[in-house]
Chains A and B, each alone.
Chain A
Amino acid sequence: MSDLDKAIEQLRQCRPIPELQVREICFKAREILIEEANVQIVDAPVTICGDIHGQFHDLMELFRVGGDCPDTNYLFMGDFVDRGFYSLESFLLLLCLKVRYPDRITLIRGNHESRQITTVYGFYDECIRKYGSANVWRYCCDVFDYLALGALVIGAGTSVQPTRSADGEDVETKVREAEDEVEIEVIGLGGVVTRQMLRREAGMINSTNLTPSALPHLSSSGPAGPLLTGIPGTGASGNSRGIATPNNAPANTGGAVLCVHGGLSPLIDSVDKIRLLDRKQEVPHDGAMCDLLWSDPEEIDGWGLSPRGAGFLFGSDIVKQFNHLNNLTLIARAHQLVMEGFKEMFDSSIVTVWSAPNYCYRCGNVAAILELGEDNSNAVLRSGGEEVLFNRENTRRLASTYMGGSMKRGGPGRRYRVFEAAAQDSRGMPSKKPMPYYFL
């Protein structure tokens, strides 16, 4: 067993690892993260997770519900630290997994991955308490600076394999014909399928929000879009766009999903723009990088001031235009507590995923993770190779062509797994570690 595996083992038991080892791991993580793009490309299948906030035992519950790493691919959308009592163990475990399985787990930066915020909201104090000096906090903050700002999930299928409930019956599913595809599936507490949404229905029922508590319904999103041969959000997307795909053509891919902690920025009109940021810095108080980590969607038109004092509020028109221009079918983000664990907004063009159940140990919310399935029907997605990826010349032209069209696209097939806070017994009593000794 390597040292790294040992460290992972130890961290899984929620025991901190020695300072020297933390340093080693942070250095290794830096080597890996520096090679990642500001918007890291991630292949489906992948499980997307929202805020963790140092709730270590709930993170373990997440892995139990979603499958262990590396068996399941994970994408964590930031805010690993602060608030909870085990920020250190949670972040280090994720970081160790990143070092151990770099292609299996993606970590992007949240607004709490910042020196200034962590000194106020707990991570700094926790490091001081657990190590007696700020060294470990420094090492971690250095790593924060290297974390990617977002990720682009490609190759997601338009449907997910329907899950059978424990008793073998489909819940809330009408007679389903073989060719029907499940676009949305919600697996509630206890692994019970609480809802399945067929793609066919999806096109017919109009609604604005999808929340687990709502009645079965779905957005007005139409049939899935045309075949993509490149990565949406890059110039390569839609190379075959010249061939108009009939509206009712079967979906081949769920399109690209942009994952970012907060949301959009008025300074960023394309995913490519994010690539032009120098992300290696403390999260600034304004500007594009700040907005990506701080903004929130809101039922408004256009942009609005954020009550948070950083980032912006953005409305459905902004999201839809952005998705359209960048050939995205969905934006996945975290950053806001949703009592139901996840919340789709703006005709399912954006979703908030929240993965810290019973937030702060007393909010009473459930958490969720979002699984995007693999696109089985079209395996050639990345066959174009890397050169194609960066052929950005076409982006604008294609995007504008596409804009003119009235085609609507469905999102990727998505399965939400909802889970509760880990059972009390499994976690022991959550508490902060006391100061080891005192002089005053």
Chain B
Amino acid sequence: MALVVPNPPEQPRRVKVYELRNNDWFDRGTGYCTGQVLNDEPHIQVKSEEEEDRLLLETRIVKDDGYQKQQETLIVWTEPNGTDMALSFQEPEGCAAIWDFVSHVQNRIMSLSSAVKLPKPELNILSSIENMMHTLTINTAGRDSLAKFIINEDYIPKLVPLLEMAEDMEMLPELFTLCRIMKIIILLNDSTIIEYIVTDEVAMGVVGILEYDPDFPTHKANHRSYLADNSRFKEVVPIDDPDIEKKIHQTYRLQYLKDVVLARILDDPTFSVLNSLIFFNQVDIVQHLQTNTNFLKALFDLFASDPLPPEEVQRRKHGVQFLQQCASIAKNLQGPSRSQLYQNLIQHGLFNVIEYALLNSDPATRIAGTEILVCMLDNDSGMMRNFIFKQIQDKTKPLTDTLIELLLTEQDLGVKAQVADAIKVLLDPSQTQPMEGLGKVSELMNSMTATRRPPDDMPNENFFSTYYDKSAKKLFKPLIDLEGRPPITFLSSNESALYTHLLELLCFFVRHHLFRNKYFILTENIAPRVAQLLSAKEKFVQLAALKFFRACVQLNDEFYNRQLIKNKLLEPILNIVIETMPKDNLLNSACLEFFEFIKREGIKLLITHLVDQCRDKLQSITYVDTFSSLMVKYEQLHDKTVPYSADEDTTPRNSVNGGKRWDGLKDLDAAEEEYFNGSDDDEEVEYSAVENSQKRIRTGGKAVLGASPSAGPAASIKSLVDYPDDDDVMDTEDAEGEPVKTDSGAANSVSAPPSDPGIENLNIASRASSVAADAPVEDTPSTPATDADDHVMAGSLPPTPDRLSEKRRREEEAEEDGMERLLRSTKKRSPSVGKKGGVNSPSSTGGGGGKKISISFASKGENAKGKKEEKEKEKEKEKEEQ
């Protein structure tokens, strides 16, 4: 075998050559030393500096470990004939270069000479083979050469027959040794070997050998019989390409190896090799199938025949599951190829299949259908909305309505939950673009801005307005129908699940669909209906209802606050406190948190209302100090002589409940902060249709943009802060609110770098997620299931074009500006910007967050964004730990 030595040190180095004669070092002369490979053998040569043709030294580097480097400039060794030699270099660099050469060659020789030969496997010498392998695996070079040897010499096929022999003779110790040998071979972590062991040729033999695990001497696994069972492979439509079919089986075996056979012994590198092999196979398979028109046609034709022949029912079910598996594999694909896949599938009629699946009588099929749907939404919800919008134009029943009906009528609670998730994603205004490769912040930023579609994105726009015009009423009908119902006493599990989902959706809309949802809540008088559920017997329903009100106050939005006051909805919540106290249950804590928030934020309207209406009740609750401090706050708010101080309320305990962070602990990522501020602006745009309409319009970023469209944010800050405020009442309020807000805003932005909960104290731990870098599984654990809150992003919708009052139009402009600005602005803006929430004309608008920032909401959005990045970080972290 050739000895490859990269770059032998050909540059001559000045050196003195010594030879030990009679215990004395004899100077053989001074010359120039080089390392060379002559006839495939490594040599050290020294040419005399006086006579170029004379060689002072010419020696072949041998395997024996006789070479030593002493001090910086000496190399000493013993020639094969027993002579001790020394080279004394003039420069340490020269010595180092030659020494590198020597040690490299020696390593090489070591590994080659020892690995090259293993005896042909026989039962009686298995243990010595195992020992030899063990010795080889100690260093990397040994492992490499062992791996090469095993491949070149077809060693595995030579091992496999021994299994049957040993089994026949019931030679248990040999079987164990065989298994150990196979484990050594697999853990060499050579992808060629691993690819090879799942081929038809040896797969059964290999897993057979692994059945005899010496760690479990009394157990024998049955891998062979499991894998041999071909019925596990469901071939819905014949795959005519034998190579691809082989690949499918091999991929399954790889997964089986990963999950079952090797699950316990896998180390991280082998785990990622397995994962990337699986990934590349899957890419190949999906790539092949989606370009195979005949195959796709045959697949989708399954769903075409109507009426359905009974014998086809099972095949259709499998067809849906097949597509579901495609979709879950697609999560790992790169963005463009994933979109390509969906394009191909859609062309052949994927939407029909989804509809079919959603309306199927079999819950498993419905689940598969919703899962495909959620995958597609995750991929590109804009595409889905376009499709639905087209349905609307074609006057066919839009998918949204199908989903809504399903949510309302579904009996399987699992499907119901998933449908609720799907609706949420579908109506998530921030989910418009797939996010890809968020390794870098710049990319993250790109995709963040990309997810905010320009306002002229008509299909999305129309989609949302149709939803609110038509579908929302259907969706929330069960809530609306509560009107006039006697106090709710009994709810079936189905009903309570439904109400919970509806309330969760409603919370989501409160946070994300600012304008339309407000209008909807107002016209349908939703708030009092939700309040009816506060008296449900089931505490989790009460809790869900409470969460709605909590989401409302979170926005600190006058519209919602007035809704709560007008309908006297704080009192029922207070009543829950009184009913549950002093029992410290979850409901009680959640209520306390609600009032703590109002107190902390100093929401004047609510505090005033609360104290005016329920002073006695407040006074009666003494087991916590929340309510007495509320009354103190009330006094402060109404006593103009005492200047309001924000002292205690700005201390960290403010943030006890919120998703807020300690100041100064983490560095702020400018990009992320910008994102925060940007979204704040969007939320800032307020729709206050009702009582005091004209006076209290908040028109977010307009003034900022108008004043200095391209100037940096610093300019905006200045103009904002300095702008004289002419609304006295609001002014007071603002002044009060500001310090608190500033604080929490700052705290919030400090938290901006996505936290990384994935990191564990053990790096082994990382296995579940440690996938080779080229096999991104980021999405895998995905989302159909995750709490949709994780996907939540800050953002608001462009208003409907059909309700354009003057005021509305202004808001709309303002909002567009806000978005524009978000796209443009690159610099950090102070979180305290725009404390003036209550400015009353567009031109004098305060831009930023102040009172209007919804903090936890923003940070959630950030989380969703950061999710991928997080995982990236996580991987890095794990690498570091290793």
Chain A positions within 8 Å of B, measured between CB atoms, are 19, 23, 27, 30-31, 33-39, 82-83, 85, 111, 114-122, 124-125, 129, 132-135, 137-139, 141, 146, 266-269, 272-273, 275-288, 290, 294, 296, 303, 305, 307-310, 312, 335-337, 359-363, 386-387, 389-393, 424-425, 428-440
Contacts and interface: CB of A to CB of B under 8 A. Distances in A.
A360 B757 contact: no
Contact of B755 (A276, A288, A309, A362): A309
A33 B585 CA distance: 8
B288 to A, nearest CB: 11
Interface centre among A31, A124, A296 (most CB of B within 10 A): A124
A312 to B, nearest CB: 8
B871 A120 contact: yes
A434 B264 contact: no
B786 A440 contact: no
Interface stretch (B34-42, B111-119, B177-185, B762-770): B762-770
A119 B367 CA distance: 18
Nearest to A234: B584
B758 A278 contact: no
A39 B586 CA distance: 10
B550 interface: yes
A266 B660 CA distance: 11
B490 interface: no
B233 A36 contact: no
Nearest to B259: A432
Interface stretch (B648-656, B693-701, B845-853): B648-656
Given A82-B768, A288-B656, A431-B259, A134 B785 contact: yes
Nearest to A388: B582
Contact of A307 (B251, B256, B586, B877): B877
Given A267-B653, A294-B757, A440 B248 contact: yes
B505 interface: no
Nearest to A294: B757
Contacts of B326: 440
B761 A337 contact: yes
Interface string B217-260: 01101000010000111111000000000001001100110011
Q: Interface SS of chain A: helix, strand, loop or mixed?
A: loop
B706 interface: no
A423 to B, nearest CB: 10
Contacts of B259: 129, 431-435
Given A129-B259, A278-B593, 11 more contacts: A111-B757, A115-B790, A134-B785, A135-B367, A135-B414, A286-B755, A310-B756, A359-B762, A361-B264, A424-B216, A440-B248
Contacts of A429: 213, 216, 219, 221, 264
A435 B369 CA distance: 19
A390 B657 contact: no
Interface string B357-375: 0000000100100010000
A287 B623 contact: no
Contacts of B658: 287
Interface residue range, chain B: 35 or more
Contacts of B786: 115-116, 119
A437 B232 contact: yes
Contact of A362 (B255, B264, B589, B622): B264
Interface string B809-838: 000000000000000000000000000000
A35 B543 CA distance: 12
Nearest to A41: B584
B417 interface: yes
B37 to A, nearest CB: 43
A437 B255 CA distance: 12
Given A286-B659, A308-B756, A428-B219, A440 B251 contact: yes
A286 B855 CA distance: 12
Contact of A286 (B286, B751, B785): B751
Contacts of A281: 789
Interface string B520-545: 00000000000000000001100100
Contacts of B585: 34-37
26 contacts: A34-B587, A37-B583, A37-B589, A116-B786, A117-B758, A118-B781, A119-B782, A141-B785, A266-B652, A267-B652, A268-B656, A272-B624, A282-B787, A285-B757, A287-B658, A287-B660, A290-B757, A309-B757, A310-B756, A390-B581, A425-B216, A429-B213, A429-B264, A434-B255, A435-B259, A440-B285
Contacts of A440: 248, 251, 282, 285-286, 322, 325-326, 329
Contacts of B655: 267, 287-288
Given A120-B871, A390-B582, A439-B318, A363 B757 contact: no
Given A115-B786, A287-B655, A133 B367 contact: yes
A121 to B, nearest CB: 4
Given A286-B659, A439-B318, A308 B586 contact: no
Contacts of A114: 757
A389 B582 contact: yes
A129 B582 CA distance: 44
A310 B624 CA distance: 30
A393 B626 CA distance: 12
Interface stretch (B159-167, B661-669, B723-731, B733-741): B661-669
B333 to A, nearest CB: 13
B776 interface: no
Contacts, number: 281
B215 interface: yes
B596 interface: yes
Nearest to B655: A267
Given A120-B871, A430-B263, A305 B589 contact: no
A278 B590 contact: yes
B88 interface: no
Task: List 4 A-B pairs, minimum CB-CB distance, nearest first.
Answer: A119-B781, A309-B756, A135-B414, A37-B584
A277 B782 CA distance: 28
B787 A115 contact: yes
Nearest to A83: B765
Nearest to A288: B656
Contact of B784 (A117, A134, A269, A278): A134
A12 to B, nearest CB: 20
Contact of A276 (B235, B261, B656): B656
B785 A277 contact: no
Contacts of A436: 232
Given A27-B493, A307-B759, A392-B624, A276 B787 contact: no
B789 A121 contact: no
Contacts of A294: 757
A286 B666 CA distance: 12
Nearest to A133: B367
A83 B590 CA distance: 32
Contact of A275 (B231, B584, B760, B859): B584
Nearest to A338: B761
Nearest to B244: A440
Contacts of B782: 119
B406 interface: no
B790 A282 contact: yes
B321 interface: yes
Contacts of A273: 653, 656
A71 to B, nearest CB: 28
A362 to B, nearest CB: 7
A175 B870 CA distance: 58
A133 B364 contact: yes
Interface centre among B367, B584, B859 (most CB of A within 10 A): B584
Contacts of A31: 539
Contact of B787 (A122, A141, A296): A141
B625 interface: yes
A82 B789 CA distance: 22
Nearest to A85: B263
Contacts of A337: 761-762
Nearest to B592: A276
Nearest to B625: A392
A122 B263 CA distance: 12
B863 interface: yes
